Structure formats: structure tokens, C-alpha cells
Amino acid sequence: MGITKHLNFDIETKAIGKICKALGHPTRIQIMTLLWKRNNRTCGEIVELIPLAQSTISKHLLELKKANLVSIKNEGKKTIYSIDVDNIEILKKYLTSYLSTIEIAEQNKATVLTTRHRISRNSHLKEHNYQFAHKKIKEAI
């Protein structure tokens, strides 16, 4: 049985790790985007906009709450979710500081939105030169 190493990170580093882990799922990023566009939404309103089960959205909201990215306000039987701006500011401060240390040549600053990617079938296999013995390779004629 291995021994787990326990490293003592500062509070800010732990907070950034927790935030990044919570934002590590596309659905949670989508929920945060919806809340950023219009704060104070119920789980039902989010379910109407993201085609997943209510229970799934609730679990994602719980993960965002654990990371202190959303706050909850109860109004009668309704639970209202909104973004906790303070923790977003911590992430913004960290990313701004981190990105300012990286030097990128001007011609390499293309973004995901401006870059066109051609994806061919099995391109990821070709990229890494994987070969599978049980697959027949079609020869070019």
C-alpha cells in the first residue's frame, strides 16, 4: 500500500485548485455561462436551457456550490442560484497573473474561435502512429 503525500499549499492555491476542478466539466462551465448572462436562476430554469435531467443539473450545481462558485438563496420552495463573484475574482486575478508571464509570438495568438481544424476519421490514431493488428488497413490504389 502506497503512502499519500500531503503537500501544504497556501490558501489561494487550494482555492484555485478547487475552482478549476469544479470548472473541469463542460456542463458546469455551461451552467456558469448561463448564470453569468443572467443571474438568479432556479434549477428548473437551467434544465430548460440545458437538455439534461434535473437530477444531473442539481448534482452539477452542488459541485459548483462546494467550490463556492455559486451561492444559494431560498425563496419559499424555490432555490435560486447565482454566481459568487468574489471567487470568480480570485480566478481572474490568478489567470491574469499567470498569463502575463507567458510570452506568445503575435502570429501564434490564434484562438479556438478563429482557428479552423480539419478532423478526419481516426486522425488521432494517425497522429500518435497507433497500429492495431486486428484492423485491416486499406491500401491506396
What is the mean pLDDT, run by run of 10 residues, along the chain of 141 residues? 73 87 94 94 94 94 94 93 90 84 64 49 47 51 47
Q: Is residue 47 part of a domain?
A: yes
Distance from the first to the final alpha carbon of the chain: 55
Question: What's the domain range around 47?
Answer: 11-98
Element (H, E) at 60: helix 54-66
DSSP at 29: H
Per-residue model confidence (pLDDT) at position 110: 58
Per-residue model confidence (pLDDT) at position 94: 86
- Residue ranges of E strands in the chain: 41-42, 70-75, 78-83
CB count within 10 Å of CB 60 equals 24
Per-residue model confidence (pLDDT) at position 43: 94
Helix axes 11-22, 85-99, angle to 10 degrees: 100
Per-residue model confidence (pLDDT) at position 13: 83
Q: Is residue 111 part of a domain?
A: no
Per-residue model confidence (pLDDT) at position 6: 75
Task: Write out the three cell numbers for 23.
Answer: 470548472
Q: Is residue 139 part of a domain?
A: no
Q: Is residue 43 part of a domain?
A: yes
Question: Which amino acid makes up residue 138?
Answer: K
Helix axes 11-22, 54-66, angle to 10 degrees: 170
Q: Is residue 28 part of a domain?
A: yes
Q: Is residue 18 part of a domain?
A: yes
For the chain, what is the domain count? 1
Rounded to the nearest 10°, the torsion over CA 80, 86, 90, 91 is: 30
